[in-house]
Amino acid sequence: MSRELIFTATYNEAANIEPWVRGVVAARPDADILIVDDSSPDGTGAVVEKLVVEFPQITLHSRPGKSGLSSAHIHAMQYALDNNYDTLVTMDADGSHQPAQIPAVMGGLRNADFCIGTRTRGGSHQAALPRRILSHGANLTARVLLPMGISEYTTSFRAFDPVALRAVLAHDFSASGYAFFIECLEVMHRAGVSMTEVPIDFLDRFSGTSKIPKNQIYLSMLALTRLSINRIPFTRARN
């Protein structure tokens, strides 16, 4: 039987993590769950520890302090490979990504090594207007600067098989935050990993506030520019 790992990173998601876990178990009863929590001051870790009693398929990795979303994702990718999972699904735990759509995102792996949930091309973006404008702006820019046949670059609702994971982990990432998620796609594209996308519905977070620093928006634009310059053959030779 195929082994699946569903991963999320948490920082202050005490009110969101239980509905997320229940949603994941309902959608994929046989999957294992990995939660990387950075000692959230709101006690998310303690909520997860209680859930582990009811759902032994959960593994909780507690890091000593807030270490960033990108390093949590790299940690999960390494964990999935080291433990011989056939599929890794990554997503946010705040209610923006819906566990009921995990099977759809995973289904993309029938035709490719990597699948991303897209908020355009049949998907929807139902967050507040400023966020919709930012996401659409970033994704439009990415489609122009870094074309690779997909419409979504920034969201973290993604499915990987081991081929895709090995390609990502072979790279030494310089970026964090949204820029990391873009760089991750470019790394797979360069490595020739087959990629596809499926529509998802992205909602506003259920509870709490965003933990991604606002300067990430500018950093991701810089990263996009840097990555697109790196596509020019003579500049890539130096990198």
Ligand X SMILES: Nc1nc2c(ncn2[C@@H]2O[C@H](COP(=O)(O)OP(=O)(O)O)[C@@H](O)[C@H]2O)c(=O)[nH]1
Which is closer to ligand X, CB of 48 or CB of 188? 48
- Nearest approach, Cβ of 66 to ligand X (angstroms)? 4
203 binds, among ligand X, Mg ion, none (CB under 5 to 8 A by kind): none
Please report the beta strands in 91-194, taking only residues with DSSP state E, as ranges in sequence order: 114-118, 124-125, 158-160
Confirm if 102 and 28 have CB atoms less than 8 A apart. yes
Torsions phi, psi for 194 (to 5 deg)? -75, 135
- Nearest approach, Cβ of 137 to ligand X (angstroms)? 14
Burial class (CB in 10 A: 0-12, 13-18, 19+), 120: middle
Tokens 């599929």 -> residue = 87
Q: Which residues would be at the binding site for ligand X (CB under 6 A)?
A: 8-11, 13, 36-38, 66-69, 72, 92-94, 96, 205, 210-212
Question: Per the structure block, which two tokens stand in for 159?
Answer: 């499915």
- Nearest approach, Cβ of 125 to ligand X (angstroms)? 12
- Nearest approach, Cβ of 13 to ligand X (angstroms)? 5
Angular region, 208: left φ>0, alpha ψ -120 to 50, beta rest: left
87 binds, among ligand X, Mg ion, none (CB under 5 to 8 A by kind): none
Q: Which residue is nearest to Mg ion (CB)?
A: 94
212 binds, among ligand X, Mg ion, none (CB under 5 to 8 A by kind): ligand X
| 217-227: b (≥16 Cβ within 10 Å) or e | eebbbebbebb
Which is closer to ligand X, CB of 132 or CB of 231? 132
- What is the spatial distance between Cα 220 and Cα 225, in angstroms, rounded to a whole number? 9
66 binds, among ligand X, Mg ion, none (CB under 5 to 8 A by kind): ligand X
Which is closer to ligand X, CB of 113 or CB of 183? 183
- Nearest approach, Cβ of 164 to ligand X (angstroms)? 20
- Nearest approach, Cβ of 134 to ligand X (angstroms)? 10
Which is closer to Mg ion, CB of 14 or CB of 109? 14
Confirm if 36 and 72 have CB atoms less than 8 A apart. yes
235 binds, among Mg ion, ligand X, none (CB under 5 to 8 A by kind): none
Which is closer to ligand X, CB of 35 or CB of 193? 35
| 33-42: b (≥16 Cβ within 10 Å) or e | bbbbbbebee
10 binds, among Mg ion, ligand X, none (CB under 5 to 8 A by kind): ligand X
